Amino acid sequence: AQTVTQSQPEMSVQEAETVTLSCTYDTSESDYYLFWYKQPPSRQMILVIRQEAYKQQNATENRFSVNFQKAAKSFSLKISDSQLGDAAMYFCAYRTLISVGSNYKLTFGKGTLLTVNP
Amino acid sequence: GAGVSQSPSNKVTEKGKDVELRCDPISGHTALYWYRQSLGQGLEFLIYFQGNSAPDKSGLPSDRFSAERTGGSVSTLTIQRTQQEDSAVYLCASSLVSNTIYFGEGSWLTVV
């Protein structure tokens, strides 16, 4: 079974600075998806960025980018020019492409709580 | 609808009562998921629907928990004889089969 580890329970960053959130995972599969989700106090899980494992190029969405190191099984999220609205719980997630009962299971890490200081 | 819709947003119930939580997925999404998030914890998978069938129920914590989906759309998660440890946020999500999963805002259940 896959596992996802987020080693930083909490992180803080000054507004306009850059912060990197860490994520490592364990799998024997060669192809899969990786995601970062953001959960603000409103509770809704919002997709931040997605990476297909077969793509070598790191995904980027505006101020959010990832450093995907497949051999090291590492998938960190970099937030540039941090804004107050970035404050949230961030979850790293792994999605297998091998179905179990047609379920392509999504496995989450325990999350990193990001605080943005003005 | 435009996104995954869940109701109620908040529910306070007495221990021993039954509760029903509703999820309306994104139109056209055949896959539907229920997750549970306890205070300060990550997300715990409960059940997966493909259409109206549930090929993966492996996460349901006990036989007090059940779920159904009708018309390949709306799903209801039922918790019978609620216990205090059932207090959590229940998140519903939907997707095309192996694509990105989109979440609703959750139903916050408090059992007193």
pLDDT (tens digit, 9 = 90+) per residue, A82-99? 999 999 999 999 988 777
Q: Report the percentage of chain A scoring pLDDT > 90.
A: 75
Partners of A35 on chain B (C-beta within 8 Å) are: 100
Residue range A57-69: mean pLDDT, rounded: 94
Q: Which residue has the tokens 């969405």?
A: A61
Q: Which residue has the higher pLDDT, A100 or B25?
A: B25
Q: In three state form, how does the secondary structure of chain B look? A: CCCCEEECCEEEECCCCCEEEEEECCCCCCEEEEEEECCCCCEEEEEEEECCEEEECCCCCCCCEEEEECCCCCEEEEECCCCHHHCEEEEEEEECCCCCCEECCCEEEEEC
- In 3D space, the residue among A50, A6, A57 whose CA is nearest the CA of residue A32 turns out to be A50
- Chain A interface residues (partner B, CB cutoff 8 A): 33, 35, 37, 42-47, 50, 91, 95, 97, 99-106, 108-111
pLDDT above 90 for B1? no
CB B49 within 8 A of CB B31: yes
Q: List chain A residues with CB under 8 Å of B50.
A: 102-103
C-alpha radius of gyration, chain A, whole number: 14
Angle made by CA atoms B89, A113, A20, in degrees to the nearest 5: 135
Which residues are bridge partners to B110 per DSSP?
B12
Regarding beta strands A112-117 and A10-14, do their DSSP bridges make them parallel or antiparallel, or are they unpaired? Answer: parallel
Which one of A44, A95, A103 has the shortest CB-CB distance to B103?
Answer: A44
Q: Which of A35, A97, A102 sits opposite B55 (nearest CB)?
A: A102
Give the burial string for B89-109 (b: 16+ CB within 10 Å, else e): bbbbbbbeebeebbbbbbbbb
Phi, psi angle pair for A89, to nearest 5°:
-90, 130
Residues in chain A: 118
pLDDT at A100: 66
- From CA B87, how far away is CA B55, in angstroms rounded? 26
Calculate how close chain A gets to B99, using CA atoms only, in Å. 9
Chain A residues with CB under 8 Å of B26 CB are: none
Chain B's closest residue to A93, CA to CA, is B43
The β-bridge partners of B79 are B19, B65
Query: Scanning every residue of chain A, which has its alpha carbon at the shortest distance from the alpha carbon of B95?
Result: A104
pLDDT value at A23 more than 60? yes
pLDDT tens digits along B6-59: 999 999 999 999 999 999 999 999 999 999 998 777 789 999 998 999 988 989
Q: How confident is the model at residue A2 (pLDDT cuts 50, 70, 90)?
A: confident
B33, B48, B105: residue with CB nearest A43: B105
d(C-alpha A70, C-alpha A110), whole Å:
21
CB B104 within 8 A of CB B43: no
Q: CB-CB: which of B45, B102, B105 is closest to A42? A: B105
